[in-house]
Structure 1
Amino acid sequence: MSRAEQSRAEQSRAEQSRAEQSRAEVDNGIVSFDKEKDNLIIKGNNLLALHTISHIFSGQVKLIYIDPPYNTGNDGFTYNDKFNHSSWLTFIKNRLEIAKKFLSDEGIIIVQCDDNEQAYLKVLMDDVFGVQNFQGTIVNIVKTEGRRYGSIAKTHEYALVYSLNFEKAKMYEMEIQGKSFQYFDLNGGFDIKDLRNQNTVAFNSTNRPNLRYPFYVNVNDVDENGFMKPKVNSFEGSTEVWATTVEGRESVWRWGREKAERQSDDLVARQSNDGLIRVYVKRRTSTTMPKSFWNETNFLSITGTRELDKLFNKKIFTFPKPEGYLKRIIDIASEPGDLVLDFFMGSATTQAVAMKMHRRFIGIEQMDYTNTVSIPRLQKVMDGEQGGISKDVNWQGGGSFIYVELMPKNMGYLQDIIQAKDLNELKAVYTRMLTGTDTNDPADISFRADLDKIDWSQGFEDNKRLLVKLLDKNGLYYNYSEIDDENVRHLLSDEDYYFNKSFYEGEG
């Protein structure tokens, strides 16, 4: 971090104190940072911000969720989203490669997209994370009537789900609302699931011979539900039961013989209408595996828009994700206390939901609405606002975050160039770039730049493009390594200086 904006940090601390959940220490106006406890919001270029904090949070993040620009040309984001495919993929690839370093061994990354880039993004993520770590694609209905352009009304978006390590990855089942069980025994309610492995291509007697063995049942000993007790050892008068043969392939069980014998009370057998006896496992859970198709009213785009409009009493952001949708994402990929990262923070839906669900979070955003939408939203969450998922999770307020900004160097000049409206404004920016201001040093000019090429007679657009090329893109922000340089130190308050020391080196 090149600069911490102390007033924002203090503001979040004040809110936190009212919630009686103080986590960070404030000593003589200097905010310290505890990476094990504190939530973090960074304003600045997300690629540079990720590199800035990667050594601090490497291997620490359980869930990364991002909703990047879709390369449609009309996203609600103020990013340069009119990329061609290759430029967009490079833009995303650079960020995914550094983001990968943040994931824990059990970590999951979920990337939102639509038809514009889904196919390209899938191939890219196969390359970055490994095709073997692909967990699945979630299709979410966002507009029931469809988007009315083109020949087919598009109703859905995609979320591509990958893990750092498929074998170690942890995802979680969803609670089934109003769940009731079909059967009961002395241990309570249960449902049944076929013990036979349904995937006979991948699992059969040829490649899993240890899972191919018989059970034995007494067909004359049947309870009120038609269940028999299966045993792995034969007994007098028993009938042998094998996993069925499907298309010439001999099925196998999902349990080995030893487990079946050890947990025989969790098994039942029953004769089906076709005359075959099948073995089932008792399922006592009130959860279910998340499916790949989501179609719920509170996941629609209009729901997210209404939630934010109501929170601010006006239309303030286009197409924010609904809190219910993020709750589902966070539910299936993390547990309370886990760290969640979203480096396309937008209106801070991810961070708001993470706070309400007692996850830690990191949010990164470069746009100015960070201070008009994102931060005020989180402050409302800390005050206990009751929109979105608040009632579902009994949210009463609390929490905290630390807000920091990357300290702009050339970035300030770049933004001035982009926002210039005529040639006179552009000339004024150029003058500031060469001479500096009371609060900013002169711009770092690219060593490839040729100042002699400036010709104001060429007009506004040509010179605007040329000024952008003049700036050294490696100097958009100040680096921490420059913090003790004389020409940088005087730009920092003592509070910002010592926060940086605490953040990077643990110095208080």
Structure 2
Amino acid sequence: VNKLLSPKVLANAVRYQAQGDAPISTFNGDENLLIKGNNLIALSGLKLRFGGQIKLIYIDPPYNTGDDSFSYNDRFSRSTWLTFMKNRIDEAKKLLAKDGVIAIQISFHEGAYLQVMLDSLEGIHHVLSMHVLVRHPDRTLTSDKKFNDVMEMVLIYSRNPDFKMPKRVTDKTSDDYIYEIRTTGDGEEQNLGGTNVLVYRPGEWEMVKVAPNAKALKSHSIRGSLREKNSSGRFYVANIEPVAKTYEPLTLFKVPGIGDDGLGFRWFHTPKEGNKNGTYFQGMPQSSKTTEKPYANFQDFVQIYNRVNSEGGVEFRNGKKPEGLLEFLIDIFTAPGERVLDYHFGSGTTGAVAHKMNRKWIGIEQLDYIESTTIERLKNVIGGDSTGISSKCGWTGGGSFIYCELAEHNESLVSDVLEASESEQLLAVVGKLVQRGELRPEVLSDSLVKHRDEFLSLDLDDQKRVVGELINKNRLYVAYADREDETYGVSKHDKAFSESFYGERG
């Protein structure tokens, strides 16, 4: 296992920027990075360079629905799928900053099982399970399903056990401040709970509705959490409510020394006839120009999902996540200049959004569409892509990213196994393994000959599984430690880039 997860040579490094692309042999550590290769192995190498530096890890893994529509294995057994997820999260969590989070988007098929598994891991702690509406309930994709599946979830975990979910910060407005209190006379002075207050009977005051403005008042019904978690609510419950029945409905109280709205007092009135809740009025708070509210654990993203096909300038049927969803998560958990990682990179939505939002990003993808889809989308971003969140964040293009690959050795044979359509192709792979000495160490070539007929009696899927297990997985990619071994033919260019990337850490 140590050798399997050891750092690997990084090959074919290219920098993409608006002026074009060009091979490079150095990595300065501050650039966006796209890696082609097995994500488990790439993650293990990344921790040498980026351990403890990633603020947000977002992943959109195979949902294990039984529908292999994403060109990768989406038909694992549950135990295999959970092991697949665990191994990668164990490596990924080592990359998280102290206050970093990992957000995993998943469906109901494995969501509950995944959460139980994640809760058992050391080093990450559950923060929130956010439910996401991705399709309108009346929109049916296929009529043969047992029910219309329109919900997904995002499981959010933090490295810090004391992590607090950020609040939604909005600028305060005067929209809700639409009342004035007008009184006649001086009011009757009374003492409530040790405080001298003025009391105005019905007919001695009126509430007037005015155009929204910063000098007007906002009305609050004193109920629910306001009765316990708000200073005005607590004063009412402790001092006015116990004596409210001794006053007429809608009796007004002017209480000094409450609030941060600059008035120096707060208005309260007893319930109107037939109601049980009193009311207080406040002016616009002066202590802050913003308001903090908690995020809901349900988010409706139906509209942005409806527009996803037009985003990025590339096709990625059924697998592309909308830019607005990633913007929502990146905005909550990161600040400009911080780094985001996605190791199921797909069409590159995470990188595209992070780029437009002035975050650094790292993406890992193994499949060949990385060249025709992912890179093309990111080149579009650099060139000034106008889709997705571009208008909202004023994106006009710029920046760069580096593309590189884990240097392959046996990985090409794994691809040959997956793509084989007949037994003879699989036997050819076995022949290469024997010729190159790339069988697992405990497998003897003589035993393969002995069991040839038994092998041919299996169906093709089982034959692929058997041949896949014969491959020495420790030699899928060229180890960084073997970069000087002429057997692997590592070029001077690839050697220089790898040494720049790992340095003494490798």
Deviation at 1:226, TM superposition (A): 6.3
Question: How far apart in 2 are the matches of 1:39 and 1:267?
Answer: 53
Shifted more, 472-481 versus 290-299: the winner is: 290-299
Question: How far apart in 1 are the matches of 2:236 and 2:39?
Answer: 54
Alignment partner of 2:268 out of 268, 271, 276: 271
For residues 150 and 316 of structure 1, do their structure 2 counterparts lie closer, same or farther at Cα, with a shift above 3 Å needed?
Answer: closer
Report the secondary structure of 2:424's partner residue.
Answer: helix
Is 1:298 equivalent to 2:303 in the alignment? yes
Q: Residue 271 of structure 1 contacts residue 277 of structure 1 at CA under 8 Å; is this kept in 2?
A: yes
Deviation at 1:277, TM superposition (A): 6.2
Is 1:501 equivalent to 2:496 in the alignment? no
Identity %: 32
Aligned equivalent of 2:53 = 60
Report the secondary structure of 1:218's partner residue.
Answer: strand
Deviation at 1:453, TM superposition (A): 2.5
For 1:139, the aligned partner's letter is: H
| Superposition pairs of residues 31-46 of structure 1, within 5 angstroms | 31-35=25-29, 37-46=30-39
Aligned equivalent of 1:434 = 434
Report the secondary structure of 1:242's partner residue.
Answer: helix
Deviation at 1:141, TM superposition (A): 1.1
Question: How far apart in 2 are the matches of 1:420 and 1:467?
Answer: 11
Deviation at 1:383, TM superposition (A): 0.5
| Superposition pairs of residues 12-23 of structure 1, within 5 angstroms | 12=16, 15-17=17-19
Shifted more, 369-378 versus 139-148: the winner is: 139-148
Question: How far apart in 2 are the matches of 1:267 and 1:492?
Answer: 76
* Higher strand proportion: 2
Deviation at 1:58, TM superposition (A): 1.1
For residues 64 and 279 of structure 1, do their structure 2 counterparts lie closer, same or farther at Cα, with a shift above 3 Å needed?
Answer: farther
Deviation at 1:357, TM superposition (A): 0.6
Question: How far apart in 1 are the matches of 2:441 and 2:502?
Answer: 30
Q: Residue 341 of structure 1 contacts residue 363 of structure 1 at CA under 8 Å; is this kept in 2?
A: yes
| Superposition pairs of residues 41-440 of structure 1, within 5 angstroms | 41-128=34-121, 133-144=125-136, 145-146=139-140, 148-169=143-164, 171-173=166-168, 175=170, 181-183=175-177, 216=195, 218-220=197-199, 242=235, 244=237, 265=262, 269-271=266-268, 273=271, 274=276, 276=278, 282=285, 284-285=289-290, 288-300=293-305, 302-308=306-312, 311-312=313-314, 315-435=315-435
- Structure with greater Cα Rg: 2
Q: Residue 268 of structure 2 contacts residue 278 of structure 2 at CA under 8 Å; is this kept in 1?
A: yes
Aligned equivalent of 1:195 = none
**Mind listing any 5+ residue stretches in structure 2 that lack a counterpart?**
1-6, 180-192, 209-215, 220-231, 239-256
Report the secondary structure of 2:390's partner residue.
Answer: coil
Question: How far apart in 1 are the matches of 2:173 and 2:363?
Answer: 35
For residues 240 and 62 of structure 1, do their structure 2 counterparts lie closer, same or farther at Cα, with a shift above 3 Å needed?
Answer: closer
| Superposition pairs of residues 438-477 of structure 1, within 5 angstroms | 442=436, 444-451=438-445, 452-454=447-449, 455-457=451-453, 458-459=455-456, 461=460, 463-477=463-477
Cα deviation, 1:154-195, whole Å, max 9, x if unaligned, reads 21100011211143456352658x96532399xxxxxxxxxx
Report the secondary structure of 2:290's partner residue.
Answer: coil
Aligned equivalent of 1:486 = 486
Cα deviation, 1:243-272, whole Å, max 9, x if unaligned, reads 748xxxxxxxxxxxxxx9996849974425
For 1:334, the aligned partner's letter is: T
For 1:466, the aligned partner's letter is: V
Cα deviation, 1:383-424, whole Å, max 9, x if unaligned, reads 001111111111100111111111112211111122122233
Q: Residue 105 of structure 1 contacts residue 169 of structure 1 at CA under 8 Å; is this kept in 2?
A: no
Matched positions, count = 427
Cα deviation, 1:110-142, whole Å, max 9, x if unaligned, reads 1101110111111112122678x3221111111
Q: Residue 69 of structure 1 contacts residue 81 of structure 1 at CA under 8 Å; is this kept in 2?
A: yes
For residues 3 and 180 of structure 1, do their structure 2 counterparts lie closer, same or farther at Cα, with a shift above 3 Å needed?
Answer: farther
Question: How far apart in 1 are the matches of 2:78 and 2:432?
Answer: 36
For residues 304 and 75 of structure 1, do their structure 2 counterparts lie closer, same or farther at Cα, with a shift above 3 Å needed?
Answer: farther
Report the secondary structure of 1:426's partner residue.
Answer: helix
Q: Residue 56 of structure 2 contacts residue 339 of structure 2 at CA under 8 Å; is this kept in 1?
A: yes
For residues 261 and 287 of structure 1, do their structure 2 counterparts lie closer, same or farther at Cα, with a shift above 3 Å needed?
Answer: closer
For 2:335, the aligned partner's letter is: E
Deviation at 1:443, TM superposition (A): 5.1
Question: How far apart in 2 are the matches of 1:156 and 1:317?
Answer: 19
Q: Residue 268 of structure 2 contacts residue 279 of structure 2 at CA under 8 Å; is this kept in 1?
A: yes
Question: How far apart in 1 are the matches of 2:57 and 2:295?
Answer: 18
Q: Residue 4 of structure 1 contacts residue 403 of structure 1 at CA under 8 Å; is this kept in 2?
A: no
Q: Residue 316 of structure 2 contacts residue 347 of structure 2 at CA under 8 Å; is this kept in 1?
A: no
Report the secondary structure of 1:391's partner residue.
Answer: helix
CA-based RMSD of the aligned residues comes to 3.4
Cα deviation, 1:415-437, whole Å, max 9, x if unaligned, reads 112212223323333333333xx
For residues 445 and 329 of structure 1, do their structure 2 counterparts lie closer, same or farther at Cα, with a shift above 3 Å needed?
Answer: same
Question: How far apart in 2 are the matches of 1:359 and 1:77?
Answer: 27
Q: Residue 177 of structure 2 contacts residue 217 of structure 2 at CA under 8 Å; is this kept in 1?
A: no
Superposition TM-score, scaled by structure 2 size = 0.75
Aligned equivalent of 2:224 = none
For 2:88, the aligned partner's letter is: R
Cα deviation, 1:267-287, whole Å, max 9, x if unaligned, reads 974425346466979374266
Q: Residue 59 of structure 1 contacts residue 103 of structure 1 at CA under 8 Å; is this kept in 2?
A: yes
Q: Residue 179 of structure 1 contacts residue 286 of structure 1 at CA under 8 Å; is this kept in 2?
A: no
**Mind listing any 5+ residue stretches in structure 1 that lack a counterpart?**
20-25, 186-213, 229-238, 246-259, 436-441
Report the secondary structure of 1:492's partner residue.
Answer: coil
Deviation at 1:71, TM superposition (A): 0.6
For residues 482 and 291 of structure 1, do their structure 2 counterparts lie closer, same or farther at Cα, with a shift above 3 Å needed?
Answer: same
